[in-house]
Structure 1
Amino acid sequence: MAITSANQLELLQTAEAVAREKMIDPGLVVEAMEESLARAAKSRYGSEMDIRVKIDRKTGRATFTRVRTVVADDELENYQAEMTVEQAKQYLENPQIGDTFVEEVPPVDMGRIAAQSAKQVILQKVREAERDRQFEEFKDRKGTIINGVVKREEYGNVIVDVGRGEAILRRNEKIGRESYRPNDRIRCYIKDVRREQRGPQIFLSRTDPQFMAELFKMEVPEIYDGIIEIKAVARDPGSRAKIAVISYDNSIDPVGACVGMRGSRVQAVVNELQGEKIDIIPWNEDQATFLVNALQPAEVTKVVIDEEAGKIEVVVPDEQLSLAIGRRGQNVRLASQLTGLDIDILTEAEESSRRQKEFEERTRLFMDTLDLDEFFAQLLVAEGFTNLEEVAYVDRDELLVIDGVDESTAEELQMRAREYIEAAAKAALAHARELGVEDSLVEFEGLTPQMIEALAEDGVKTLEDFATCADWELAGGWTTVKGERVKDEGLLEKFDVSLDEAQNLIMTARVMLGWVDPADLAGDEGDLDEEEAEA
């Protein structure tokens, strides 16, 4: 195939036809043709030559040129594409390093192999351009719903025609009992769009919680307009789901708006999700109130929140336990996902039994340590006293409100409590010294003798040892392992040392040892305050 006047215009016509078919810029196709012709010319004139081709966008005429670059004498490597300043003087006037000399060469006749090679270059370039266009088109549609047509199924994964490309609905992103045949229409959520070596990959989902949120946005105009907001979604795909909504207009009921007239709106979503049962719950800023709503249809008697542990205890009537937990724990699991908290459900009987056990333990503590009879010890517990420190150092007036306690009795109680605490402290300190604790740790302000004993039993015997500890090692914490929250016991956790307190103690020790500059510490705190203010 020779590039002659007879087929010059065919180049442009071919470029336009390919661009129209693939919906890409005709200029990209012409550039691919230029590159393919240049490659064919190199096979004719020599691969070391720098042959370039330029196709006129109006006439289709292809111009073949040979380019030679001026380089320094010691950098000359390719005699076909480079030349020295001295050699360039016969072609250029006053040549400088970096100048180029361009001369036109005769067009080439393309044999069968060269033509095939050129075709491959053009196809490759067109394919790359098509992939780029596809990625640019779909990357901004991530997080939206798309309609498509099922093309085929491969190993359980469904390949979906989404118009200008193909997307994949993986097996684990399908709702359990769904099956599709070629040419079935399907609605999916675009979960991710990635640029990969084999082209842009569009990943779809029908199990993602946001798929349900987007479906409600399509069915409920108030959500689309921003009057109602979806605050949280939890799904057990194909079975049951919970969705929390809030209205920013007092005249509009968020739950009623999502349900629709005679349930028409929520039913449209249910039908799309193969009959998935949906609980629509009013969202509330108060965690306890929100959780009570989230556990519907079960009734809740009492809620106890442990914010530091990120756990919550819910007390329900005995007959409501199975309803609150749900089949295979489904109801409580979805409520946990919705609120972001670990939920422990207790019956009223279990909670009463636990409270009785705590009452008996505290009663026994006061009987053994203060030498009280059972009735008097129970009076202390009933008034809310939980440990000896509270009895020893509380304002005496709080003891005088207890029936049968006068000034002398209150004084005697506090004296016994203080004597016991002091004796326990001396014993703990003596044991710690036996274990090898150094004075640097004993004299460190902020640690009680019992704390020092607990540290010594774990091998922390010097201020240096203490300074190398992490805050969670002292205060304890929670770690997520395989999706389950696991408790990390802290060395000082039984003394109610919080993470912040542990961190302050450790940083104080590091400053005392000279490991940390107090000025740097103050600067860090200032930066943190600024970040919090900006947030």
Structure 2
Amino acid sequence: MMSKDILLNIDSIYNEKGVSRHCIFKAVEEALSGATIKRFEGQNVNIIVKMNRINGKYDTFRRWQVVKDETYTKSSIEIPYTAAKKINKKFEINKYIEYKIENINFCRIAVKIAKQIIVQKVREAEHTEIIRNYSNKIGEIICGNIKKIIKEGIIIELDDKTEGFLPWNQMIPGERFNINERIRTLLYKVIPYSRNFKLILSRCCSTFLIELLKREIPEILDELIEIKSVARDPGYKAKIAVKYNIDPITIGTGYCVGLDIRGSRIQSISNELHNERIDVILWDKNYKKFVINAFSPLDIISLNIDEINQKMEIVVKEHSYYKAIGKGGQNIKLTSELTGWMLNVVTKNEANKKNKSQVNFLSLKLDIAKKIAVLLVDYGFTSLEEIVYVPIKEFLKIKELKINVIKKLKSRAQDELLILAMKEEKTILEKYNVRNNC
């Protein structure tokens, strides 16, 4: 009867939880072992149970491990090698001697212990199965119904009854949801050893926007359009840089903004993201053109580029300044993230003042005519460090300067930097002496 009851319980767990029968049998064997150990009243014993997977019958064994004579500690789970050889010459070191003992008589306490172990092992098996199934789905969109709203976030029951967790900091600002409401999220990460939630979801990461674009615009999956970069301020604004692998003049911009004038494709994604505004920008391998495209339709007067430090100064007209910066600096921040350049926007008047200041500085420090200083500034050489460390071949782009003039400029700049370094060192020493005197 006991064997039939065990088989019925195993089938019940298998049908209810979907855990493999092998895992359940192993859990039951460990449960029976644990319950049997209790019979020895605190003694240190090694008990294993071997169960027949067909008829549910099982046998219980006590085990001793064969160890070297010099490492034997008189433990009740070990036997010295010489003693083992007297029993059977086939016994070897690190192998086990097993003797069959009487199966446990399942009293009320034993059944309770066995049930607790079975439940724990089945839960562990379930968690292992969840990790195995979802580890390959990180970065994919998954759907579910809101099961519970707690202090830390939202618990979502996915379509396979597994629970995922959407923290408040991974939600779009201003979103509100109700119990049982259907929701789309991105599987952000899987935490195998978490006691609470193993599947962490997100709606505010850039990958979520990319996956929505792939679902809504099949040309991306067909590789007719390639997403090069994404910058996002969740719930407010996003910028997407795309590259057309076919002639964009022929197809127009309909693939991204929708096949109708209203831009139905992007609009449906915007609705999903709590009316987040989405700008689609044409990517260009020429970084200057790419930055200009990113600020379109604003007119850019000029670009001052520092390639070494990946910095760029954008000069715009007075009336375009606040549009280029955006509310709270949002536009310039997203554009910098999208292009990978540190961008700074200035008006034409500010740029002129700055250029004038830089021209006067170089003219004074290098003892050169302002005409030459203007040439240096126009080509982006605005500091003594740049003049010293930038290779001569870069200066040769200034056709008005000959190589002997360039060498003199570099030499004077180096002398000025040495003078500045000596002054700084002198100041530090003076401060040090004042402290010691005090």
Q: Give the TM-score category using the shorter length.
A: 0.7 to 0.9
Q: Do structure 1's residue 234 and structure 2's residue 194 form an aligned pair?
A: no
* Contact 2:14 2:20 (8 Å CA) reproduced: yes
Q: Distance in 2 between matches of 1:259 and 1:277?
A: 12
The residue type paired with residue 312 of structure 1 is: M
Aligned ranges for residues 463-502 of structure 1 at < 5 Å? none
2:330 aligned partner: 330
Aligned position for 2:72: 76
Residue 33 (structure 1) aligned with residue 28 (structure 2): yes
Query: What's the counterpart of residue 194 of structure 1?
Result: 191
Q: In 2, are the aligned partners of 1:135 and 1:200 still within 8 Å (CA)?
A: no
Corresponding residue to 2:257 among 241, 256, 259: 259
Identity of aligned residues (%): 31
| CA-CA distance at 1:271 after TM superposition | 1.1
Match for residue 241 of structure 2 among 230, 239, 244: 244
Q: Find the residue that maps to 2:198 and give its secondary structure.
A: strand
Q: 2:308 is paired with a residue of what secondary structure?
A: coil
Task: Note closer, same or farther for the CA distance 1:65–1:267 as it changes in structure 2 (3 Å cut).
Answer: same
Q: Which residue number in structure 2 is paired with residue 306 of structure 1? A: 306
Letter in 2 for 1:304: N
TM superposition shift of 1:317: 1.5
The reply on whether 1:224 has 2:217 as its aligned counterpart is: no
Match of 2:174 in 1: 177
Q: Contact conserved, 2:365 with 2:416, CA < 8 A, in 1?
A: no
| 1: CA distance, partners of 2:113 / 2:224 | 60
What are the equivalent positions in structure 2 for 1:509-528 lying under 5 Å apart? none
Distance change in 2, residues 1:301/1:116 (3 Å): same
Letter in 2 for 1:105: I
93-102 vs 268-277, greater mean Cα deviation: 93-102
SS of the residue 2:137 aligns to: coil
1:91–1:101 contact (8 Å) kept in structure 2: no
Q: Which runs of 5+ in 1 are unaligned?
A: 1-5, 371-376, 394-400, 403-409, 426-447, 461-535
CA change 1:270–1:449 in 2 (3 A) is closer
Give 1:173 deviation, angstroms: 1.3
Q: Taking structure 1 as reference, are residues 65 and 307 closer, same or farther at Cα in structure 2, changes over 3 Å only?
A: same
Q: Which moved more, 1:159-168 or 1:352-361?
A: 352-361
- Contact kept, 8 Å, 2:191 with 2:197, in 1: the verdict is yes
Q: Contact 1:131/1:200 (CA < 8 Å) preserved in 2?
A: no
Question: Is 1:19 aligned to residue 17 of structure 2?
Answer: no
CA distance in 1 between partners of 2:303 and 2:321 (Å): 14
Equivalent position SS for 1:70 = strand
Structure 2 match to 1:508: none
Partner of 1:525: none
Structure 1 SS opposite 2:238:
strand
Q: Does 1:64 align with 2:60?
A: yes
Equivalent residue number for residue 113 of structure 1: 109
Q: Compared with structure 1, are the counterparts of its residues 378 and 125 closer, same or farther at alpha carbon in structure 2 (3 Å cutoff)?
A: closer
State the Cα distance separating 1:452 from its structure 2 match: 4.3
Between the aligned partners of 2:266 and 2:84, the Cα distance in structure 1 is 80
Q: Which is worse superposed, 126-135 or 149-158?
A: 149-158
Change (3 A) 1:99 1:194: closer
Per-residue Cα deviation, 1:466-500 (whole angstroms, up to 9, x for no partner): xxxxxxxxxxxxxxxxxxxxxxxxxxxxxxxxxxx
Where does structure 2 lack aligned partners over 5 or more consecutive residues? 393-399, 427-438
Within 5 A, what are the aligned runs for 1:18-417? Answer: 18-45=13-40, 47-78=43-74, 80-85=76-81, 87-88=83-84, 91-93=87-89, 95-155=91-151, 157-162=153-158, 163-198=160-195, 201-250=198-247, 253=251, 255-262=253-260, 263-360=263-360, 369=367, 377=369
Question: Kindly tell me: are residues 101 and 212 of structure 1, through their superposed partners in 2, closer, same or farther at Cα, counting changes over 3 Å?
Answer: closer
Cα displacement string for residues 366-406 of structure 1 (whole angstroms, at most 9, x for unaligned residues) = 8xx57xxxxxx55555666999999xx9xxxxxxx99xxxx
- Partner Cα separation in structure 2 for residue 112 and residue 244 of structure 1: 68
Structure 1 CA distance, aligned partners of 2:188 and 2:90? 61
- Superposed CA deviations along residues 252-293 of structure 1, whole A, max 9, x for unmatched, are 647420111121111110111111111111011111111111
Is the 8 Å Cα contact of residues 165 and 197 (structure 2) preserved in structure 1?
no
Shift of residue 225, structure 1, vs aligned partner: 1.7
Match of 2:435 in 1: none
| Alpha-carbon separation, structure 1, partners of 2:13 and 2:410 | 90
For 2:223 and 2:245, the matched residues in 1 are separated by 8
Greater shift, 252-261 or 186-195, is seen at: 252-261
Higher relative contact order (CA 8 A, sep 6+): 2
After superposition, the Cα gap between the structure-2 partners of 1:54 and 1:452, relative to the gap in structure 1 and judged at 3 Å, is same
SS in 1 for 2:300: coil
CA contact (8 A) 2:228 2:241 kept: yes
Indicate conservation of the 8 Å contact 1:68/1:80, yes or no. yes
Task: Work out the CA distance in 2 between the residues paired with 1:71 and 1:328.
Answer: 73
SS at the partner of 2:192?
A: strand
**CA distance in structure 1 between the partners assigned to 2:108 and 2:374 by the alignment:** 100
CA distance in 2, matches of 1:458, 1:328: 38
* Paired amino acid for 1:125: K
Q: Which amino acid aligns with 1:66?
A: R
Q: CA RMSD in A?
A: 3.4
The range that moved more, 84-93 or 329-338, is: 84-93
Name the amino acid aligned to 1:339.
T
Rounded Cα–Cα distance in structure 2 between residues aligned with 1:95 and 1:260: 77
C-alpha offsets along residues 120-155 of structure 1, whole Å, 9 cap, x if unaligned? 111111111100110111111111111111011111
